[in-house]
Chains A and B, each alone.
Chain A
């Protein structure tokens, strides 16, 4: 709904002061879908795939200019995939492919990056690189990140606000407040998924 792919049954959704799906400038929104894999036989390089994320910025019918190519390269470097930029995406590991998805979303210099279960099934090293790329977006590009996930361990120390949903909003506040309720975002016995299990 936030992305404008589904319409709400009731109520309104507001995104960056606009209606989702009809943003005046859709490039303000970056989106990383849940399934972080490309078709294994896709004959496209990392650079080509990331460049598709920049299309809306420079006009999809135009060739990228020098500034666009620089933004594409920067997005690839931000997710530490520089040495793989000329590789076919299908040759990369799951974690690397997932970072290609993030670089593709970063390439349009979004103000808001929405990630759906980004670290599901991704190894620890990729999770660290993933966290670094999000922190880079926030600190260097003044962007905001909305992370939809059951696994928040990798970014637990970097979150400003946590909203817990189960049918309705169960919690809305800082990670510190959540912790004061005895709920941790890391991988512990009292972590978030276990807490949610117990809720009815």
Chain B
């Protein structure tokens, strides 16, 4: 039974899409706020590529691809964080290995699935298919969203301490390695939740772009996160509405709305932005 919402959300499939989209639109920037400041904006992208291999494995094994994507994403997140923290390789090189390894493995596994008579339609996972989400998908996304919000509520202050200065956080006795790992796992979970909304190839956009806009407007870290969540939520509503009105791909439309928000804010900012520095001493 659809709720009595106005057009374009009067149909049940649009309401399910809206609910899933709102959860992801709110949660992705919440995690992205910490990633952007840690100069790890592309972590979500790297994890998304590996999650693609997980999706293909799920299709091959006949398992719900969300589970296999989640397992692959969490392993990739911890692997990338391990490589980064050990200084074995630079952050972008570590990401590159996972990027290409994930896509290559996904392509090989998907071809294998087709060969054994399980045709692997990976496009909905690569580019999103929010208009076909089921009630079960939406519940899964909502539960993941609650876990993300609860984890950020508990660890957010300590994550900010690590973002501000990792060395002093370590000296202060904060569990820096565990917090970094938690952030990586949160990113993996967010990527999988966002997979059906915007697709694995566009997942990082929802993590990063609303934050980029919020950083232009907000003064404190807290307000940066809140503005980023508002931008993410607004992009989902506007993007879904535009997709319905003009028959556009919803995932791509949502991401283009976040880019438009960033562009407009960047241009408008000189007159509305943060005031100049106080006198120097």
Contact = CB atoms under 8 A, between A and B. Distances in A.
A and B pair up:
yes
A84 B281 CA distance: 12
A121 interface: no
B160 interface: yes
Contacts of A108: 172
B219 to A, nearest CB: 6
Nearest to B276: A91
B164 interface: yes
B174 A45 contact: no
Interface in B251-281: 274, 277-278, 280-281
A63 B156 CA distance: 10
Contact of B168 (A31, A41, A83): A31
Name the prevailing secondary structure of the B interface residues: helix
Contacts of B238: none
Interface residues of B, number: 32
A51 B157 contact: yes
A63 B153 CA distance: 9
B170 interface: yes
How many A residues touch the partner, as a band?
A: 35 or more
B274 A44 contact: no
B133 interface: no
B62 interface: no
B157 A88 contact: no
Given A43-B219, A96-B281, A104 B171 contact: no
Contact of B220 (A39, A45, A92, A101): A45
A51 B163 CA distance: 13
B281 A91 contact: no
Q: What are the 7 closest A-B residue pairs judged by CB atoms, nearest first?
A: A26-B173, A52-B161, A60-B158, A44-B221, A93-B280, A43-B224, A31-B171
Interface of A: 3-5, 23, 26-27, 29, 31-33, 38-39, 41-45, 48-49, 51-53, 55-56, 60-61, 63, 83-84, 86-88, 91-93, 95-96, 101, 104-105, 108, 123, 125-126
